[in-house]
Structures are given as structure tokens and as C-alpha cells.
């Protein structure tokens, strides 16, 4: 059969020769495709080795994604809080003293007096420069009724400019007005959550809600405060301080809120608020459960907060208040983000470096192992750049595969963090892309040297290699 004439030899091959002489051969897509197939084959040949080699890249890439997700989450959370609380605001919250410190002097049935007082506010207004307006608020936690439907909610007595100060948007209707405040009118605004729970079937505007023996006419619906963060003086902060009301913390995630004029609250419920808790009545006298102090734009917030702290320290024997400076929250969040960036960034950098070195090491070993093959390919017409391409593609495939696994892991890690560390994480669409690109880049950086070393071998010596 060898004797047969050879049509292939005599014409077909000769015609297709005189092509492809350009220096751009390296990025010829056909060539790259073939190199990729070749690279995949040879990586597949040593599956376990490839996998182990890629581990460094896997963790590096996963750390990059986790870092970005946590950082973004922290930033977003802080910004949201800042938006809700107002960057020029200082929020004073009354905190009920813990039972241990008061138990000696006061029985449960007695009136407990604590928190931010009128006197505090007057002194703050008089002495702290740049204090613009204060939004005072008092809270009652009790059941609200719509006929037979009822729900445990927060009732906040406050002032008409509350939404503006706290960046809260009206969803329907309006907030209560100055005249209603002056007239101690029984009007109220409820949040979306409460509206949905108490009036699931129809619009609550114009309807009435019962609180104890009083009826309040609903004039508007305000958006639910989405942060649900414990820095907000609302449900969470209160229920944490108020230990006897531990059962209330269930619905702390999305607070049920009703807002009525502060004057109305004082008019109907008096100075002393009664609560029925764990079998006994509890009464407390609190001037304000919370006060939002707005500092004029020209004045720095943090020193003002310091001044306020001094005043409160002087006036109160016990720390029955809490000062929240949203701007500081933001700074703290930024610091957290920075720390995370440094820690995870270092992990990522070290993993990628170690991973890269591991890959380079393996590729150098591969090059030595395949010296003979390199010699054969060179003898059969492979140019140096063909060899470079072959090994570089193989390295990039290795690191890229590590990158893909890393992206998978990196997308999973924030979910776990969110679940167990109660931290918000945000994965932006470009984060996996960036992390993957880093893995590819690592492959290029650490693959160049082994590839060049492979290509610069002397063909004769390579062929003689055992």
C-alpha cells in the first residue's frame, strides 16, 4: 500500500503553503483556539495537579470579591443611615436605666423617671452654637386597633417638620400640620407597613385607628424606614434598652409606626406613661424619647455633639441617654470598610502572589518535563512565539480556571457573611469581572517567564533531553 501514488503529497499541501507569514500570528484567533484546546488537554492530563496549583488563585479571587462585597455593603448601609438620619443631625435617645442600678431605690410599680428632659434641650439650644431646630419625640408602645384587627406598634409624638428633618417621604396623603399640632388634634400618620397590616383591603386615608380609648384620624402614609438599623432610635433601639419588653423585638425588622402631634400625645396620655408589662403596671416619666438636633450647615457637627455630651453629662447622674451622630456612623462604617479592605486585600494579594508563584513553579516543572516535546515542535516548524503562546495559554487557562472557581466561591462567601455576621454585602456586577481579570493577569505575569524559557531552548539540546 505504500507503493501507491500520493495525490496529497503531490499537490494539495503545496498549494496551501505560501500563507501566514505575518508577525501577528500570535494573536491569530485560529491559533489561539487550537492552543486553548491543546492547553486544556494537557491540564486535563494532570487534573489533580492543576486543581491544587490553582488553589491560591481560587482563594485570592474569592477574597477580592468578598472584600468588594463587604466594603460596598458597609458603605451602602452607612450612606442609607446617613440619608435617613441626616448628616447635619445629632440624635439624642432616652435609654431606660438597667434594672440593677435602680432596683434598690425603686419598686416596679413606681414611676421611673429618666431620659432627655426639657431642661437639657433648653440648655443645648442656649449654649451650643449653630443648633437650628430640634425635633422632639415621645413614644408609646401599645396596641393599635382597626375595629377588631390589632397590632403592637410604636406611637411617636412628634412635630410637623419630622419628615423633612429625617428625610422620610410621604407615600400618600400628608403629614400633620402646625394647626393640628397647636389644636392637639387626634390625627395620625402611619407607615406603609402598619397600613398594610391594619388596612390590608382598602386605603386607610380618612379612616380611624384606636389607641386605648382614643381614636385618631389617618391623614397620611409615610414610607417605612428601610434601614431597620439599631442606630435608629425606633423600635430596635427601644426594645434593646427596654429589657422587660423582650417579646417586642420580633417585629423589630420592619417597624410598625404611627405618628401623632407631640401636643396631642401629651394632652391625651399625660406626662406619665403607663405600660402593662409582665404582670405588673409600669409607669415612666420621660420628657422625650428622642430628640433630633439639627446643626446649621456652617457649623461642624462633631464638636457640637461633644458640647451636647458635656451638657447631658452634667445634668444626668446616670447615662440614661444615647447620643448618635450619623456622620460618625458613616466615619465608623468607612473605617470598618477600610479595615476589611486591608485585611481581605492582604489575603487576596498574598493568595494571588503565592498562587502565582505556585503556578510559575508548576509551569517551570512542566516546561522541563516537556523539553523533548518543545524540541520536537521546534524541529517541526514551531517558532519561538508559538511555544510562548502554547505555554502562556496553558498558564492562563490554569489561573483562569482558578479564577472561575474563585468567582463561584467569592459569590458564595458574602451570602454566608450576611447570614452569620449580620453584615450587609453588595456584589456589584463588575466585581466578579474584575476579580476574574486579576486571575487572568496573574496567569500572564507568572506565565511569561516559564513560556519564554520554554521558547528560548536550543532545539538540538531540547531534542536530546531525556
Partner 1 sequence: MPPKPRMSDRRPIIELRDVEKHYGMGEITVKALRGVTLTVYEGDYISILGPSGCGKSTLLNILGCLDQPTEGDYLLEGENVANLADDDLSQVRGKRLGFIFQSYNLIQQLTVVENIEVPLYYQGISEKESHEIAASLAEQVGLGSRLDHRPAELSGGQQQRVAIARALANDPAVILADEATGNLDSKSGGDILQIFDDLNQRGKTLILITHDEGMADRTSRVIRLKDGLIHYDSMGQAAPSEMNYKSKALSTG
Q: Does residue 368 belong to the site contacting partner 1 (CB under 8 A)?
A: no
Q: Does 397 bind partner 1 (CB under 8 A)?
A: no
356, β-bridge pairs: none
Nearer to partner 1, 35 or 442 (CB): 35
* 109 is a contact residue toward partner 1 (CB under 8 A): no
Distance CA 443, CA 155 (A): 60
Q: Which is nearer to partner 1, 28 or 437 (CB)?
A: 28
For position 386 contacting partner 1 by CB under 8 A, the verdict is: yes
Pick from 20, 52, 415, 421 the residue near partner 1 by CB under 8 A: 20
Taking the C-alpha atoms of residue 85 and residue 57, their distance in angstroms, rounded to an integer, is: 42
Q: Mask of contacts with partner 1, 40-59, x by CB under 8 A?
A: -xx--x--------------
365 touching partner 1, by CB under 8 A: no
When asked if residue 342 is in the footprint of partner 1 (CB under 8 A), the reply is no
Of 78 and 362, which CB lies nearer to partner 1 in the complex structure? 362
Could you give the CA distance from residue 252 to residue 335 in angstroms, rounded to a whole number?
A: 27
Rounded CA separation 96/113 (Å): 9
For 89-111, b where at least 16 C-beta lie within 10 A, e where not — what string?
bbbbbbbbbeeeebeeeeeeeee
- Does 3 help bind partner 1 (rule: CB under 8 A)? yes
Contact pattern from residue 432 through residue 461 relative to partner 1, giving x for each residue in contact according to CB under 8 A and a dash for the rest: ---------------------------xx-
Site for partner 1 (CB under 8 A): which residue of 304, 325, 382, 431? Answer: 382
463 binds partner 1 (CB under 8 A): yes
Residue 40 CB, nearest approach to partner 1 (Å): 12
* Shortest distance (Å) from residue 50 CB to partner 1: 14
Distance CA 373, CA 371 (A): 5
Does 34 contact partner 1 by CB under 8 A? Answer: yes
Answer whether 297's CB lies under 8 Å from 34's CB: no
Instruction: Give the nearest distance from C-beta 61 to partner 1 in angstroms.
Output: 29
Can residue 302 be called a binding residue for partner 1 (CB under 8 A)? no
By C-beta, is 42 or 263 nearer to partner 1?
42
**CA pair distance 43, 37, nearest whole angstrom:** 10
Cβ contacts of residue 172 below 8 Å, gap of 6+? 203, 205, 220, 221
Give yes or no for residue 369 binding partner 1 (CB under 8 A).
no
With CB under 8 A as the contact rule, which of the stretches 90-98, 148-156, 257-265, 373-381 interacts with partner 1?
A: 373-381
Query: Which is nearer to partner 1, 210 or 385 (by Cβ)?
Result: 385
Q: Name residue 93's beta-bridge partners.
A: 290, 322
CB 25 within 8 A of CB 31: yes
Total interface residues for partner 1 by CB under 8 A: 43
Q: What letter does residue 316 receive in the DSSP assignment?
A: -
**3 state DSSP class of 150:** strand
Instruction: Give the SS3 label for residue 17.
Output: coil
Give whole-number Cα distances, 158 to 124, 165, 193, 251, in Å: 19, 12, 19, 22
Residues that bind partner 1 (CB under 8 A): 1-10, 12-14, 16-17, 19-21, 25, 28, 30-31, 34, 41-42, 45, 372-373, 375-386, 459-460, 463
Amino acid at each position: 500500500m505504500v507503493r501507491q501514488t500520493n495525490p496529497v503529497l503531490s499537490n494539495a499541501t503545496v498549494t496551501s503553503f505560501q500563507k501566514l507569514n505575518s508577525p501577528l500570528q500570535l494573536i491569530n484567533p485560529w491559533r489561539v483556539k487550537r492552543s486553548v484546546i491543546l492547553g486544556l488537554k494537557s491540564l486535563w492530563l494532570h487534573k489533580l495537579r492543576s486543581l491544587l496549583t490553582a488553589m491560591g488563585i481560587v482563594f485570592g479571587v474569592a477574597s477580592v470579591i468578598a472584600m468588594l462585597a463587604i466594603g460596598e455593603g458597609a458603605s451602602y448601609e452607612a450612606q442609607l443611615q446617613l440619608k435617613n438620619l441626616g448628616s447635619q443631625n445629632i440624635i439624642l435617645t432616652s435609654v431606660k436605666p438597667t434594672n440593677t442600678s435602680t432596683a434598690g431605690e425603686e419598686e416596679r410599680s413606681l414611676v421611673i423617671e429618666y431620659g432627655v428632659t426639657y431642661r437639657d434641650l433648653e440648655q443645648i439650644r442656649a449654649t451650643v452654637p449653630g443648633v437650628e431646630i430640634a425635633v422632639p419625640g415621645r413614644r408609646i408602645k401599645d396596641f393599635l386597633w382597626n375595629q377588631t384587627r390589632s397590632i403592637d406598634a410604636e406611637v411617636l409624638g412628634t412635630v410637623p417638620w419630622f419628615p423633612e428633618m429625617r428625610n422620610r417621604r410621604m407615600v400618600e396623603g400628608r403629614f400633620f400640620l402646625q394647626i393640628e399640632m397647636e389644636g392637639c388634634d387626634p390625627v395620625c400618620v402611619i407607615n406603609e407597613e402598619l397600613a398594610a397590616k391594619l388596612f390590608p383591603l382598602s386605603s386607610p386615608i380618612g379612616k380611624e385607628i384606636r389607641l386605648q380609648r382614643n381614636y385618631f384620624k389617618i391623614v397620611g402614609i409615610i414610607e417605612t424606614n428601610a434601614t431597620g438599623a439599631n442606630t435608629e432610635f425606633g423600635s430596635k433601639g427601644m426594645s434593646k434598652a427596654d429589657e422587660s419588653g423582650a417579646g417586642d423585638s420580633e417585629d423589630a425588622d420592619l417597624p410598625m409606626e404611627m405618628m401623632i402631634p407631640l401636643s396631642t400625645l401629651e394632652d391625651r396620655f399625660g406626662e406619665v406613661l403607663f405600660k402593662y408589662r409582665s404582670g405588673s403596671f409600669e409607669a415612666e416619666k420621660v420628657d422625650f424619647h428622642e430628640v433630633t438636633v439639627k446643626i446649621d450647615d456652617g457649623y461642624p457637627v462633631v464638636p457640637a455633639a461633644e458640647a451636647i455630651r458635656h451638657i447631658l453629662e452634667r445634668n444626668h447622674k446616670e447615662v440614661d441617654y444615647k447620643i448618635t451622630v450619623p456622620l460618625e456612623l458613616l466615619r465608623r462604617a468607612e473605617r470598618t470598610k477600610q479595615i476589611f479592605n486591608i485585611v481581605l486585600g492582604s489575603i487576596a494579594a498574598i493568595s494571588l502572589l503565592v498562587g502565582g508563584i505556585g503556578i510559575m513553579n508548576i509551569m517551570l516543572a512542566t516546561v522541563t518535563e516537556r523539553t523533548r516535546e518543545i524540541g520536537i515542535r521546534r524541529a517541526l516548524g514551531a517558532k519561538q512565539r508559538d511555544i510562548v503562546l502554547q505555554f502562556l495559554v496553558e498558564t492562563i487557562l490554569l489561573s483562569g480556571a482558578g479564577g472561575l472557581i474563585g468567582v463561584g466561591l467569592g459569590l458564595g462567601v458574602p451570602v454566608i457573611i450576611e447570614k452569620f455576621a449580620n453584615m450587609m454585602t453588595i456584589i456589584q456586577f463588575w466585581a466578579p469581572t474584575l476579580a476574574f481579570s486579576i486571575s487572568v493577569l496573574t496567569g500572564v505575569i507568572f506565565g511569561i517567564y516559564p513560556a519564554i524559557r520554554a521558547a528560548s531552548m536550543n532545539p538540538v539540546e531540547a531534542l536530546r533531553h531525556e
